[in-house]
Amino acid sequence: MGNSAGLIILLVMLIVVVGFVIITTITGKKAAKKEKEQRYKAVRNEIKAFLAKTDNRKNIRVEFEKVYSRKGPEYKYRDVFDVVVELIEPKTQKSIERRAYEVEGITTKIDKKNYATKWVVNTILDLKETEQRIAIGQKEVKLTKEERKAIKKSDRIKEKELAKIEKEEIKKIRAEAKENKKNPVIQRTTDHKEKFVPIRSKEGN
């Protein structure tokens, strides 16, 4: 009898744990989906505003085709994305044009626990070059040994240049702080990052 009661209690506990895990997973997925939708909406609105400002185009539907997070030493503390979109005329539902944009997420600290990310369209990009860069980044295009070496060499040079610039900036901040008789506070503005897309793969809207 005692063994039976113990087994029942164990089964109940197991059901509770499994139920908790399932509910937590579902809730987490829903929250992640909602956050992703909000980011897409924010970026879509920025692209529309950019179109209105630069091309005087309004009421254009923007559909995402590809989103790729740039890699490399110069993007270590920046969230920069290559975004390929299709512009559609809402009334006719016809595709007008395919374009590529450089989109950056600028994160600022609101308080001790909260951050806010503003999405900015930096510029329009060459579509062909952007798609090629994305294909290389996603390893859809195989590079030769010489090309891989050239990229690594370029990255090393950029890392050295950025390290030198950072060192000079820190030195300047410390010198200014010393002159003003203040303790320098050196803090990166991008310690906390909010990614536009959690995976580097083809995305549709």
Q: What is the tens place of the pLDDT at every residue in 169-203?
A: 777 777 777 777 655 555 544 444 555 553 444 44
Residue 104: inside a domain: yes
Mean pLDDT computed over every residue of the chain: 79
- Dihedral angle sign, alpha carbons of residues 147, 151, 156, 161: positive
What residue numbers bound the domain in which 110 lies? Answer: 2-126
Q: Are 103 and 196 in contact (CB under 8 A)?
A: yes
Residue 33: inside a domain: yes
Going by pLDDT thresholds of 50, 70 and 90, the confidence category of residue 103 is very high
pLDDT value of residue 99: 95
Which residue spans within the chain are E strands per DSSP? 61-69, 79-89, 94-109, 115-125
- Dihedral angle sign, alpha carbons of residues 154, 157, 162, 165: negative
pLDDT value of residue 151: 65
Distance CA 139, CA 136 (A): 5
Q: Is the pLDDT of residue 22 over 80?
A: yes
- Report residue 97 as tokens: 């044009």
Range with the poorest average pLDDT among 21-35, 70-84, 100-114, 138-152: 138-152
Q: Tell me how far CA of residue 27 lies from CA of 21, 23, 32, 37, in angstroms.
A: 10, 6, 9, 15
Overall pTM surpassing 0.95 (yes/no): no
Q: Is the pLDDT of residue 89 over 70?
A: yes
- Give the bridge partners for 108, in sequence order: 116
pLDDT value of residue 162: 65
Q: Are 104 and 187 in contact (CB under 8 A)?
A: no
How many separate domains does the chain show? 1
Residue 167: inside a domain: no
Residue 39: inside a domain: yes
CA angle, 148 as apex, 145 and 149 as ends, to 5°?
A: 85
**What is the average per-residue pLDDT within 99-108?**
92
- Give the bridge partners for 62, in sequence order: 87
Q: What share of the chain is helix, strand, coil (3-state, %, to 5)?
A: 50, 25, 25
Q: Tens digits of per-residue pLDDT, 110-167?
A: 888 888 888 999 999 999 999 988 888 877 656 667 766 776 666 677 667 666 766 7
Residue 49: inside a domain: yes
Going by pLDDT thresholds of 50, 70 and 90, the confidence category of residue 2 is low
Residue 100: inside a domain: yes
Alpha carbon of residue 112 to chain centroid: 22
